[in-house]
Structure 1
Amino acid sequence: MRVEDAGARRATVGLAAGGTGGHLFPAEALARELQARGHGVVLYTEARGARFTRALEGIPHRVLPARSLAGGPAGKLAAAAVIARAVLAARADMKRRGVALIAGFGGYPSFAPALAGRSLGLPLLLHEQGSRLSMANRQLLRFADRVATSFAGTGGADADARGRFVETGNPVRASILEAASAPYPSLDAAAPLRLLVVGGSQGAAVFGRVVPPALEALPAELRARIRLSLQYRGDDADAVAAGLRAAGIEVELRPFFDDMAARLRDAHLVITRAGATTIADLLVVGRPAIVVPIPQGGSREEQRGNAEALERLGAGWCMREDDGGFTASALADRLRVLAADPSILTGAAAAAARLGRPDAAARLADEVEAMLAARASGAG
C-alpha cells in the first residue's frame, strides 16, 4: 500500500533510536525508504549512535543527551534531569523542522524524543526489533498509536494493546539487501570454508576466548580450509591472530568490520550474538549461523528466544554461554560435523533465506504513510 495523499507525502518524520547498531540500523533503513518516497526525515540519537557515521550519512540527525534509569534512586533522579533536557531540546527541534510523526526504535535514548513528540500532539509509531517489547517500548506503549513488530506474537504487552500491533518485519540496510541477491557460496568437503565471527556493534569478548582455541583444535586439513574473519577488540589481538596463523588458519582480525554486508554475503557460516537486527540480516541474506545469546542484561531473554527460534526453524544452531554449552571443545565438535557434510550448511542457508523479510522497510514506511494520511485527514 502506498499512500498518495500530498500532505502526507511531504511530511517530515522524526525517528528516535538508541546508540547501538541494533536500534540505529533499522531506523536508518526506514529513513532512507522515506527519503526515497519524498519525505523529510530527522533521526534523534545519542553520542554512541553518532559514531555510526556511514549509517547516518545523508540523514539529518540530532544528538541528544541520554542516560539510563539504572542506578537506584540517585541514578533515576539524575536520569530524569537528563531526559527533561533532552525532551526540551527535541521538542524545539521538532517544531523548527515541522515534524509530523515520531517513529521510535527502542533503547533508552529514544524515550525523550518520543515524549517530546507526544507533548506536541504528534502520532507515535513504535518499532520492536525483538521477540519481546524492550523496556523503553514497554514504557512508551501507553502513548503509542501503532506498534510495528518484527515477529508474530511479540511478547510483553497485554491483550488490549495488541489491537495496535502490526507485523512488518525488521528493516535492514540497503547494503544487506544488495548482499541478499548473491546465492549461497558453493561449498564442498575440500573447498575453503569462510567463517565470519562477530559480536555486534558492542563486540563479544567470549568469541575471542572460545573461537581461537576451538579452531586450533580442529584437524590440520580442516584448519587449512578455514578463511576466518574475526571481530575482536582485546588487548591481546595481535597474539590471538599470531596463534591462529601458526595453526595454519588464514585470519583477518579487526576490532570492527565496516563492510559487514560483503562479509556476510561471502560467509559460509556466521558465529554471532542473537540480537534481533543481526538475526534479520542473517535471514535476509540467507546465511546459517551459530548464535550465542548474551548471558546477562535486559536483552538476555530476547536473545535466547531469537536463538532458539532460529534453531527450531532449521536456520542455525543455538549454543548458550550461560549453561556452559559454548566452549572451545563444544564448538570444535560442531564445526567438525558441519564441515564434514556441506549439505547441512546449504540446507540451513536455504531455511534462513525462506524466513527473510527484505520488504520490511517498505512495509514499515507504508504504516508511517497511513498514519500521516490519517492525521492529515483529521481521522488520526
Structure 2
Amino acid sequence: MASTVFARIGRHSAKICIVFMLVVPALMSIKATRRPNDPNLTPLPARPHTLQQWLEMPPKVTAWVSDHFGFRTHFIVADNVLRFNLFHEFPSIQVAYGQNGRYFMAAHAKTVGPYQAMTTVCGKGKANATTIPYLNKLFTTFHAAGMDPKLLVVASAPAVYPEDVPSDLVEECTSTNTAAARVLASPELLPQARASILYPLKEMREIKKHASLFPKSWFHWAGDGLDEVARITLTQFWKTPLDQPPMQLRRYKGGSDMSHMFIGIKLESDVVEPDLGASGIKGCFGGDCFPEIPAIARILGDVSRFDNPKAPKRRLLIISDSFGEKMSPWFARYYGEVEHFCTNHTHELTPEQAEEMKKYLYRNPADTDILFLYHDGGAMYDVLRNGTQMILPPPLAARQ
C-alpha cells in the first residue's frame, strides 16, 4: 500500500513542485495587501460596487498581482540572467548586443521603434525640422552678443564602430551621409554657423584604430582617444598651442552606464581616463564646485571645473549634454581654467536663475573660449535646442 502511495506521489511530483513554487509566492503576495502603497507599483483596486466596476476588475487585479507577486524581483533577475547568458538578449529594447563584444544603446525610450537610437545617428537618420533654424539662431545670437562660440558634434558609437553594430545595420551605419553630415551640407545652414561646427566622424573612425573612444558596454564616450578629438577641435577652432605635457592616465574596470535599464546583468568595460592629480590638475565634479552660483549648480548637477597652473592662463567654457562630463577633463591639459555645464536640467531653472547663470557663464568674454559639445543624437534632435534656448546671451547693445 505504501509503495502504491509513493508511486503516485512520484508520478505527480512535477505537479506538486509547480504548485508549491506558485503557492508560496502567491501567499507572500497576499501579505502585500497590508503594506503601504508603493507609488512605483500598481495599487490594489478598490472593492467594486457596480457592474461596470466588476467588469473592470480583472485587468486591474492582474496588474496588481504582476507587481506584487512573491519573489517577483528574483524571478525577473533569473529571467534576465538566463536570456542574457544563453541568447545575449536584454529585457528592454533600449539595449542591443552587437558584434565583437560591443553593446549599444538601441532606443531612448521603451515606446519607440527597434534600434531608434542607432538609426537616427546612422545613414537613414533625418534631423528634426527645428535643427537648422536653431543652429542659425544660436550662432547669430552669440555673434550679436560679441561672442564667437563653436560646436563640437560628437559622432555616436554606432557611427564610429559600424563593424560592431548588429549585422542588419552594418551597411546603414557605415555610411558617412548621416543626419549631422546632411545638416552641415544644407544650403539652409548659414555659412557663419557651418564654419563654427565640427563633426569629426571620419577622424574618430581613424582614432578608434589605435585609441579608445567608447568603452564596449557604454553609451557615453570615454578613453584616451578623447584627447585626440580635443586636439583636432582646438586646432580647427582656436589654433590653441598643443605643446602641453601629456596627461597621466588611469585605467580601471567601469560598470556600464546602461546597467540601470535592467537588473541581474553586470556589464563592465576597460576605461581610460586622465589622472588629474598625477597630472597636476585640480578637478571638481558636482553641484558644490561652483560656490558663485550654488543653487544653479546643484539643480544642473552635471557640472565640473578644472584648474591647471601649467597651462596658458585662459578659460574654456563647455556647455554640453551628458557627453561633456568625460571630455571636459581632457581639455584641462590645454587651458588654465575649464568650466563645464550640462544643460539637461536647465528647464528646471527659474527665469531669475537663468539670468544669473547667463551673467556667470558669459563673464570676461575676451579671455574665454566657448565650446558647445553635444553628441549627434543631441545636436540633431533638439536636446541642444531645449537645453540652451533659455540661456542665450542678450545682444551686446543691451548689456552696455
Task: Report the TM-score, using the length of structure 2 for normalisation.
Answer: 0.22
Higher normalized contact order (CA 8 Å, seq sep 6+, divided by chain length): 1
